[in-house]
Chain A
Amino acid sequence: MNKVLEVKNLRMNFGGLSAIDTFNLDVSDGEIVAVIGPNGAGKTTLFNCITGLYTASSGDILISPPDKKTKSIIGFKPNIITESGLARTFQNIRLFSNMTVLENVMIGRHCRLNSGIIGAIFRPKTTVNEEEQVVQDSYDILEKIGLEKYVNEFAKNLPYGAQRRLEIARALATDPFLLLLDEPAAGMNMQETKELDDLILKIRDEEKISILLIEHDMSLVMSLSDRIIVMDYGKNIAQGNPAEIKRNTDVIKAYLGETFA
């Protein structure tokens, strides 16, 4: 299988602190890869580097969108990276709270639309059609995620679990080939986590989107991922399938603890 994302020898220094140290990672087409590790290991920094919020100090990040050539995305602005097909969610929910649920998803469609100022003012046929299309598309995405009953609610009024799902819906609206989920199950109860598990599998299987996720909920990680990468102090200390990771002594020492193994 071809690799959709390749991170090569990535380094990220903040002043004297090296948050990520010669890190390597790859995600194959249709794969679910989990990044785990103790707090402060550099997982979110890694996501920020990949999605362009931070510019890596050195190393390379390559993406291969379907039917397109492999290209480096180092130094690209976040919006360009999203446009090339990488979408993300945030660890601390970052929805547009005073916009409706539907509008949140519509923002995700933004980079796939074209109408400009003139179009907005004069509303020619193309703009009207485009608007109708985006409303319908966004609604379809909400239906898929199971949020259609909240469609006209303000995002801030949604229950916590629904807000997390809305973040995923918004990311899906950008038409990604790789979805980066930063702790999607944080703060969810058992039932919600189970639903999330199903949802992520559904996204992978039906939408053909590869997934890279950070998660602390080990039951979710173990049941979901094809491959797990363990990070500690910015370094890759182990990788393998869930069974291998559970047995790995380094991982047990650094993160999982004796009881889990």
Chain B
Amino acid sequence: MKLFTISEIKKSFFIALWFMFLTFPIMVIRVNTVENEIKWRWENMLFIGLGSFFLSIIWRYTIEKKEAGEKKSETGKSAEISFFQQVVETPRFYVPATIVTGIFALVFPFIFSIYQTNIMITTLIYVMIALGLNIVVGLAGLLDLGYVAFYAVGAYSYALLNHHYGIGFWTALPIGAATAFTFGILLGFPVLRLRGDYLAIVTLGFGEIIRLVLENWNEFSFGPSGIDKISRPGLFGIELSLHGNIIYTYYLMIGLTLFTIFVVNRLKDSRIGRAWIALREDETACQAMGIDNTKTKLTAFALGATWAGIGGVVFAAKTTFINPASFTIWESIIILCIVVLGGMGSILGVILGAFILILLPEYLRAFSEFRMLIFGAALVIMMVFRPGGVISEVRKTYKFKK
């Protein structure tokens, strides 16, 4: 595309004009009610005009480039493969990349402050539960908007067991996972017949029910005041300082994340994983090919919930205090965003997605007023230019002797 043809400039000029007109009342006029005068800020109009002029040119240029790329990939196999995709697929790139990331992850708590380590623990928890949701949404294609409920179930199972019976972290971990698993099946049954939007609404309701129960059933969950003084993860009874314990939790999370990646990766290319994907692609055909939809959906829900349960237990142990405010619909949305933005069905994509979506708002605190704006803009731009996510799903290929 020629960037500076007369017609392009004309288009951008009118867009700029239109924006100037639209933003005129809010950006230019300022009424000072105290002194009863109107301040005209004409310089703002100039900025908006120039800004929207250049942004519109860049916007149209990138859109055109993207469409040209799509056309290319439709006609031939020489489709442009994204930089990320290339890194993932060539051993020359990903072997060193994995080693560097591994070493970085190992030394992280010793280079950076305890504050940074804490953020990283949170991010890893999100990586883990997003990988769990990836099973439900990315692989099985079941839009679950109440996923945070299972996170809450995990967190509260540990918190309550610890509060009432003094049960430790390691005992609670499998219990939390099993409880979430059970809740996954419980939610699975009523929604078996639902698809798409209907499923989303019902799961949304389920998530809210769990939160409202926790908020209002004071005798059971201590209501909005929550549960405090939850024990941190133990290490064979050794007393750790607060600092030591955070580092310990960090390594614990690294271990759990690796375990999650290992399991999800194996599930993905297994008989069950294929059934999930078939279910996502075409439910009717899937059942007509002899796959038990009921069983497949329930395993997806239950296994997805399990990771949320584990994540919940770690979350409770890490913060030592939980209350229902940590398990709002917003959390579900964030986790869903991680999966969609990262790349549905792609493990590496979801991991990157979690890092982007959790770390971005964290490090954008400097621009605190605008950080949610930037966050939103990043999501929109991402979905326009890479609807498949940062890294799209790659299917396993097989080689045959001819």
Residues of A within 8 A of B (CB): 51, 53, 77-79, 82-83, 87-88, 90, 94-100, 102-103, 106-108, 110-111, 113, 115-117, 119-121, 123, 127, 130-131, 134-135, 139, 148, 151-152, 154, 170-171, 174
Contacts and interface: CB of A to CB of B under 8 A. Distances in A.
B48 interface: no
A117 B273 contact: no
B309 to A, nearest CB: 16
Contacts of A83: 290
A116 B256 CA distance: 22
Nearest to A106: B274
Interface string B255-292: 00000000100110011111101100110111111111
Given A82-B288, A110-B275, A123-B266, A151 B398 contact: yes
A87 B291 CA distance: 12
The 7 closest A-B pairs by CB, nearest first: A111-B290, A120-B270, A82-B290, A96-B281, A94-B285, A152-B397, A78-B287
A98 B287 contact: no
B303 interface: yes
B282 A107 contact: no
Contacts of B277: 96, 98-99, 103
25 contacts: A77-B287, A78-B288, A79-B293, A82-B289, A90-B288, A94-B282, A94-B288, A95-B282, A97-B281, A98-B281, A98-B395, A100-B397, A106-B274, A107-B289, A110-B289, A115-B271, A115-B272, A117-B267, A117-B272, A119-B270, A120-B266, A127-B270, A139-B400, A148-B400, A154-B395
A110 B267 contact: no
Interface SS of chain B: helix, strand, loop or mixed? helix
Contacts of A103: 274, 277, 395-396
A79 B290 contact: yes
A107 B277 CA distance: 10
Given A98-B395, A99-B278, A120-B270, 8 more contacts: A96-B277, A100-B396, A113-B271, A120-B273, A121-B263, A121-B266, A123-B266, A131-B270
A107 B303 contact: no
A90 B284 CA distance: 10
B293 to A, nearest CB: 7
B393 A79 contact: no
A152 B395 CA distance: 9
A152 B277 CA distance: 16
B286 to A, nearest CB: 7
Q: Which of A79, A83, A135, A139 has the most CB of B within 10 A?
A: A79
Interface of B: 263, 266-267, 270-275, 277-278, 281-282, 284-293, 299, 303, 393, 395-398, 400
A148 B291 CA distance: 24
Contacts of B289: 79, 82, 87, 107-108, 110-111, 170-171, 174
A163 to B, nearest CB: 12
Nearest to B345: A98
Contact of B291 (A111, A115, A121, A154): A111
B288 to A, nearest CB: 5
A107 B286 contact: yes
A99 B395 contact: yes
Contacts of A96: 277-278, 281-282, 285-286
A92 B248 CA distance: 56
A117 B398 CA distance: 22
Nearest to A93: B285
A139 B286 CA distance: 20
Given A97-B281, A107-B291, A152-B397, A121 B267 contact: yes
B101 to A, nearest CB: 24
Nearest to A94: B285
Contacts of B281: 95-99
Contacts of A102: 398
Contacts of B285: 90, 94-96
A121 B306 CA distance: 14
Contacts of B393: 98
Q: Which of B266, B285, B288 has the most CB of A within 10 A?
A: B288
A126 to B, nearest CB: 12
Given A82-B290, A115-B270, A53 B263 contact: no
A130 B270 CA distance: 11
Contacts of A110: 271, 274-275, 278, 289-291
Contacts of B275: 107, 110
B128 to A, nearest CB: 16
Contacts of A115: 270-272
Contacts of A119: 270-271
A142 to B, nearest CB: 10
A98 B275 CA distance: 13
A199 to B, nearest CB: 19
Given A94-B285, A123-B266, A116 B293 contact: no
Contacts of A94: 282, 284-285, 288
Contacts of A123: 266
Given A94-B282, A96-B281, A121-B266, A53 B288 contact: yes
B295 to A, nearest CB: 9
A87 B288 CA distance: 7
A117 B303 contact: yes
